[in-house]
Amino acid sequence: MKLSIEQFAQLKSFCIQEMGFLDMGAAKAEFMEPEARQLEAWLESGIHGKMAYMANHFELRTDPTKLVPGAKTVISLLYNYYTSTVQLDASAPKLSMYAYGRDYHKVIKKKLKLILQWMNEHVGEVAGRGFVDSAPVMERDWARRAGLGWMGKHTLLINQRAGSYFFLAELIVDVEIDTIQEQVPDHCGTCTRCIDACPTLAISKNGYHLDASKCISYLTIELKEDIPAAYQDSLEQWMFGCDICQAVCPWNRFSTPHEEDAFKPKDELMSKDKESWQALTEEEFDDLFMGSPVKRAGFQKLKQNIKFAMNEETNPD
């Protein structure tokens, strides 16, 4: 089965107008060359830290036809999570914006199921699977192939109309799409703001290459053991994730607040001051972060992060 240009336009309209996605594009499902070689080199360099899972299922990660038998197309989607709401206490430990609301995996996965349902009702019998950062899928690269943006120097996808504060999702389906997606050229130019702003020097001096083992998001989420002493004083108040490289990016002047109720932060989360974060109990943690991506870190990890995030204030020289 092949979707016509008209059917593709109708599908895109449904994804954006009815499901609330920022944008949608598609690319042919095939082995990813040269991305596979780039991933291989990155893994061999060892800078993925303790994320051993990144080296697992290499063939599935680089070839969607092995992940989803019969796959013909990878549909990529962007879902906005930007908000102008900020934590009231500027001295408090900080959460990455994406973690303000409910777990995005569940919220977006429901929407992908509805899109597949729509395709079956309006296009014909379609088989496929939806993914939201939950399987060996090279999301950024598929979105780039689908014409949704380019890889910035901080290695995140940047969209000219929306910046970079969005989640990536995919539908890998067994239908062809009769349209060609033009890839977006790099528009970072000579800008080095993300490189200059990273407190742990995780981004290489020329950009486009990330040492994940130094990234604050990795240190505060993925790393299950103690944060290395070399970085304990460099968290700049981040207790879960980090938005520094996005906050300084000029393209995010185009970001607009999302309209997703599930991503709206709780008032008690945004109003919590430094002292109450430092005194956080496990019971409070469970209540405050019920259904939140922050649960992934766990109470003990978050408490450790808070200790290091507040190091400068709590342990002055």
Instruction: Give the residue numbers annotated as catalytic, written as ranges.
Output: 133
Residues in the chain: 317
How would you classify the pairing of strands 238-240 and 94-95? Answer: parallel
State which amino acid sits at residue 264: K
Helix (H) or strand (E) holding 24: strand 23-28
Per DSSP, the chain holds a count of helices (H) and strands (E) of 14, 10
Longest distance between any two alpha carbons in the chain, whole Å: 67
Compute the distance between CA of residue 165 and CA of residue 220 in angstroms, rounded to an integer: 19
Six-digit token pair at 201?
């020097």
Peptide bond into 34 cis (omega under 30): yes
Compute the distance between CA of residue 229 and CA of residue 311 in angstroms, rounded to an integer: 12
Q: Which of 242, 245, 249, 240 is nearest to 297 (CA)?
A: 240
CA torsion sign for 71, 72, 76, 77 is negative
Specify the 3-state DSSP secondary structure of 121.
Answer: helix
Q: Which of 76, 53, 134, 108 is nearest to 260 (CA)?
A: 108
Compute the distance between CA of residue 28 and CA of residue 46 in angstroms, rounded to an integer: 30
Q: Which of 158, 100, 120 is nearest to 7 (CA)?
A: 120
How would you classify the pairing of strands 2-3 and 157-158? Answer: unpaired
CB 295 within 8 A of CB 289: yes
CA torsion sign for 121, 124, 128, 133 is negative
